[in-house]
Structure 1
Amino acid sequence: MTWRWNPWLLGAVAVAALMLVPVLGLAWAASDGSAGLWAHLWANVLPTALLNTGLLLLGVGALVCVLGTGSAWLVTAFAFPGRRLLSWALLLPLAVPTYIAAFAYLDVLHPLGPVQGLIRDLLGYDSPRQFRLPDIRHLGGCIVLLGFVLYPYVYLTTRALFMTQAAGLLEAARSLGATPLQVFWRVALPLARPAIAVGVALALLETLNDIGASEFLGVQTLTVSIYTTWVSRGDLAGAAQIALAMLVVVALLLALERLGRRRQRYASVLRPRPLQPQQLRGGRAVLVLLLVSLPVLLGFVVPAAYLLWESIARLQVAGISPQLLVALWNTVRVALLATFAAMVLGLLVAWALRLAQARRGQWLAAASSRIATLGYAIPGTVLAIGLLLPLGGLDSMASRLLVVFGGQSQMLLMGSVSLLVLAYTLRFLAVSVGGIESGLARIPLSLDQAAANLGERPAGMLRRVHLPLLRPALAAAALLVFVDTMKELSATLVLRPMNFETLATWLYAEAARGTYEEGAVAALLIVVSGLLPVILLARAGAAYGVENAR
């Protein structure tokens, strides 16, 4: 059987084609805009949005690089009290979406909030007019907030490299008299450059996808401009044109990430010897402990403690709102549907690539896999705008067919939960494909050959041999997709049906109205759900450390 008639490969190609629909739809929608519209955008919208977005990316990139790389090196190269706890606690900010961190800090640092109130009490002031801290609603505040929430992307990739690279090089530098700072700067940092590039790229893609934190803090980014152009002005062509400019920024980020990893090669060893940390005592140990604790404190402890406090106060006074329960059910329902769809399509793409390794057409399967995973690099707002025009046209055709066959004219996809589930599926399909491909890579190809020699067809081979072995990878990938879907805000704001609230949109609406106590419960539920994949990552890191310590 040649690859042309392989149904698995054809299915993978179809999934890749589905991923290209929003990109082509975006170009189509942008082409409907007039030349005058482009002139208006370039004169009034894009300069400010591009400048703010560029400065935001530069600031966040520098901050996550310093925080992530520095903390990864400190917990890997040195032993100090609390090191084991902090090695996984540094992952906790991953459970806090950026818009929730902004929601929390806006109230915590409000002139009438607890922080400024405590400072005034200590200084003997009675009114905010006598003393108040600078407002965080500006570009600098947004950079600091996003940096302390997104640094774990760099921490994860960089610490993994510090743990796996050959310890002999670092210990040789120590034996030659290099100070700890020189070992880090001259040996460890150059080796970690590819891992840093990957982590920074992931953090910057999350920065581009952010809409809540930027809007709450008054920063007009490209994402905020797309949303306001479509939702507030109803200008789809203008929103699509801004989204095209944003796709250029995404392409530049991906190119910079590849540039940072070029010509970087490592000698592989079967069981790398981990670096033996240096024991710190006294003032140095206290200083390192404080430095490593600061990102955890600001990125997770403060917003989580605030949400817990406000949620308890809200529940004691008014209980759980019925509307919040509806939003919770909506969130879980669409997350389950999107997770199921993403896992099915991800399994199709990954299995087609696995089968193609022993057949003709491997290049086509690999290309389909790469295209199918583009959604994670496309911001949710851009993806949503790209889906509107092609699916709107499909809806119009279906509506005409309904009338021809005696039915009533109605929209089937637009303004429906199905469109939201489709957007979530495309957005997080990369998580599903990546998790399943990683699981398949651990299964030797000899099992495939043995099953094929016994006359087993690909479908039976997948069902009887690989699916039982893939259960841990499938469960982990499904959990990640489910949690990412629960947290997604930008695509939900654009595509949700009328009067359809999720936890994220409920929180967004409450923050826009300034009723922070109402949104605290929804925010806390999202953070608690986000802790699940963080626990998985921490357990995986702990297991890896134990294995390499043997």
Structure 2
Amino acid sequence: MAPKWYSSWSLSSWTVAAILILPLIFLINESLVPDKEVFEHLLNTVLTDYVINTVVLILAVVVISLLIGVPLAYLLANFSFPGAKFFNWGLLLPLAMPSYLMAYIYTDWLEYAGPVQRMLRTAFSWQSKSDYYFFDIRSLAGAAVVLSFVLFPYVFLIVKTAFKEQSISFLQAGKMLGKTPWQVFSKISLPLARPALAIAASLVAMETLADFAAVKYFAVNTLTTAVYDTWLGYGSLTAAAKISVIMLLMIFLFISLERISRRKQRTFSASSSTEIQTVKLQGKKAWFAFSASFIVLFFAFILPVIYLANMAWKYREQAINSDFFSYGFNSLTLAISVSFICLMLGLVIVVFKRFHQGMLASLPLKISSSGYAMPGTVLAIAVLLPLTFIDHGLNDFLIAQGKAPIGLILTGTLFAISFAYVIRFVAVAIGALESSYERISPSIDNASIMLGNNRLITLIKVHLPLIKRGGLTAMLLVFIESMKELPAALLLRPFNYETLATYVFQYVSDEQLELASMAAISIVLAGLIPIILLNRTMESK
């Protein structure tokens, strides 16, 4: 018979999973409610265009991200050249740049009144826009380019790992058969990396589908903005829930494709015995490799950071104000509390999986991690539904008892936004903790038990000291994600409550980023921390 503490841990694990999946259940239930007015109106007018825009945007971002990420991944996986060690992790830096900041920066540069077009008009004596053609940054194509700059590092990281794990014997065989380097890449390396390509593409697709800020800034109507506009514009949670379920079905498709690709990837990896060795480039080839890597990093990260840093310094007196400190404090306290809660809940889930044996051992973990796949706008609606139900039910009960209602104690407070953050980011904590537990051999558990320690003592005296780095990493990653989160904060924040992300986005929307430039550069600098951690993890392997 299992110890009582272990039974309590099992009950706690399933309870956590049930609470975290509750908003999704309410969302699906709400989507089944008939709505003949708003949803049918949207279906008959603009919803088809929203779906088409979403699909086109996803395809465009995936293609551009692959075109940028795959060549760089192959280059850095197979060759060494001046700066290669830096570019191996430096090309991940664009992940720290929020998409709405990139959208604002490139719009400011490339629009008609921006410095690029002004310089061209001066150089070629053009008088008006009709004298020449220039790429319209405020368009679906512009949104695709901006999002690709932010998301291509996912492709770079995943595909580079796949290239590095390929057997050198395959590449040597291609060279012995007289194949050119291009033929070796296109006929051998690329097909072997196909599962990784599918995984990277599906991840980019999901991130594109979830993006709200950039497409909103560019006025590109997608399903994400449709959820936002339907909820706030038409006041219909039911119609917004129906659109949200459509998005979830698309995400389910991407996840399914990714899992299929993972199964195929194991088959390819089984034949790999010796990892490839990098070839040192010299002369023109080395400079070409350096230039290609630097140009991408320059436009995707270095130039935007220089722009923000210069703006923050130039407008420091206006940007460093009471709002910056107040909203920074809000973001800080919210992120710290959410990271601690996620760590505790993640520990409950992971420890249960560690000790529990059976077919259902990993089910609470999978259920609890499902919220990370939900876009922020969808998550906001999903969270609002059960909390509204509880608030109204509690107030109705108090009124029936002849007592005064207590108001919206869940939906009108920080509880709603905190709950949404926990649902979305607990998967990050679970992943970090699970990774730490995978490094602990089961024999250590057996040795501890043979020495007379029960599972609780084993957890406290053996596991916790061994996973403390993973726990710290989990809290730090959740902290940074919470600092950057925008859609859920924008939709669920209490009245007169702002975070740094919502504060910056409002100024971006008003074309006045300079007034929030210090907050913007703070968000970017905070986003660098998990990238540095990721680089250290990769180097330690």
TM norm. shorter chain > 0.5: yes
2:364 counterpart letter in structure 1: S
CA distance in 1 between partners of 2:52 and 2:493 (Å)? 30
CA distance in 2 between partners of 1:222 and 1:229 (Å)? 10
CA distance in 2 between partners of 1:458 and 1:100 (Å)? 49
1:445 counterpart letter in structure 2: P
Change (3 A) 1:270 1:522: farther
CA distance in 1 between partners of 2:291 and 2:227 (Å)? 40
Change (3 A) 1:520 1:33: farther
Change (3 A) 1:166 1:397: same
Change (3 A) 1:318 1:519: closer
CA distance in 2 between partners of 1:232 and 1:519 (Å)? 27
CA distance in 2 between partners of 1:246 and 1:111 (Å)? 35
1:393-404 to 2 correspondences below 5 Å: 393-402=389-398, 404=401
CA distance in 2 between partners of 1:93 and 1:175 (Å)? 39
Structure 2 regions of 5+ residues with no counterpart?
Answer: none
1:375 and 1:427 in contact (8 A); partners too:
yes
Change (3 A) 1:319 1:23: closer
1:185 counterpart letter in structure 2: S
2:319 and 2:515 in contact (8 A); partners too:
no
Change (3 A) 1:208 1:111: same
1:214 and 1:221 in contact (8 A); partners too:
yes
2:111 and 2:137 in contact (8 A); partners too:
no
CA distance in 2 between partners of 1:71 and 1:441 (Å)? 31
Change (3 A) 1:516 1:121: farther
Q: Residue 467 of structure 1: CA displacement? A: 0.8
Change (3 A) 1:271 1:477: farther
Q: Residue 180 of structure 1: CA displacement? A: 1.3
1:38-117 to 2 correspondences below 5 Å: 38-117=39-118
CA distance in 2 between partners of 1:451 and 1:402 (Å)? 52
2:443 aligns with: 446
2:319 and 2:516 in contact (8 A); partners too:
no
- Answering whether residue 465 of structure 2 is matched by residue 468 of structure 1, we say yes
2:385 aligns with: 389
2:151 aligns with: 150
2:191 counterpart letter in structure 1: P
1:338-363, CA deviations, whole angstroms, 9 ceiling, x for partnerless residues? 1111111111111100001xx3xx32
Q: Residue 244 of structure 1: CA displacement? A: 1.1
1:246-261 to 2 correspondences below 5 Å: 246-261=247-262
Q: Residue 121 of structure 1: CA displacement? A: 4.0
Is 531-540 or 422-431 further displaced after alignment?
Answer: 531-540
Q: Residue 99 of structure 1: CA displacement? A: 1.8
Change (3 A) 1:115 1:205: same
Q: Name the % identity.
A: 36
CA distance in 1 between partners of 2:52 and 2:272 (Å)? 47
1:108-187 to 2 correspondences below 5 Å: 108-124=109-125, 133-187=134-188
Q: Residue 134 of structure 1: CA displacement? A: 3.1
1:355 aligns with: 355
CA distance in 1 between partners of 2:131 and 2:319 (Å)? 37
- Answering whether residue 202 of structure 2 is matched by residue 201 of structure 1, we say yes
CA distance in 2 between partners of 1:287 and 1:458 (Å)? 57
1:93-141, CA deviations, whole angstroms, 9 ceiling, x for partnerless residues? 1111212211222222233333333334444568778668332111111
1:12-27 to 2 correspondences below 5 Å: 12-27=13-28
Match 1:370 to one of 339, 349, 366: 366
Q: Residue 221 of structure 1: CA displacement? A: 0.6
1:74 and 1:292 in contact (8 A); partners too:
no
Change (3 A) 1:511 1:267: closer
1:327 counterpart letter in structure 2: Y
1:500 aligns with: 497
Q: Residue 370 of structure 1: CA displacement? A: 1.0
1:348 counterpart letter in structure 2: V
Change (3 A) 1:488 1:370: same
2:230 aligns with: 229
1:411 aligns with: 408
2:426 aligns with: 429
Q: Residue 469 of structure 1: CA displacement? A: 0.5
1:68 and 1:154 in contact (8 A); partners too:
yes
2:91 and 2:297 in contact (8 A); partners too:
yes
Aligned residues: 539
Q: Residue 417 of structure 1: CA displacement? A: 0.8
TM-score by length of 1: 0.92
Q: Residue 421 of structure 1: CA displacement? A: 0.8
Q: CA RMSD in A?
A: 2.3
CA distance in 2 between partners of 1:118 and 1:82 (Å)? 32
1:547 aligns with: none
1:200-237, CA deviations, whole angstroms, 9 ceiling, x for partnerless residues? 22222111111000011121010111011112332211
SS of the counterpart of 1:200?
A: helix
Change (3 A) 1:169 1:134: closer
2:487 aligns with: 490
CA distance in 2 between partners of 1:333 and 1:405 (Å)? 37
CA distance in 1 between partners of 2:46 and 2:464 (Å)? 50
SS of the counterpart of 1:363?
A: coil
Q: Residue 307 of structure 1: CA displacement? A: 0.9
2:100 and 2:213 in contact (8 A); partners too:
yes
2:19 counterpart letter in structure 1: L
1:6 aligns with: 7
CA distance in 2 between partners of 1:256 and 1:408 (Å)? 49
CA distance in 1 between partners of 2:262 and 2:88 (Å)? 25
CA distance in 1 between partners of 2:281 and 2:121 (Å)? 38
1:125 and 1:131 in contact (8 A); partners too:
yes
1:400 and 1:409 in contact (8 A); partners too:
no
Match 2:478 to one of 478, 481, 485: 481
CA distance in 1 between partners of 2:469 and 2:425 (Å)? 19
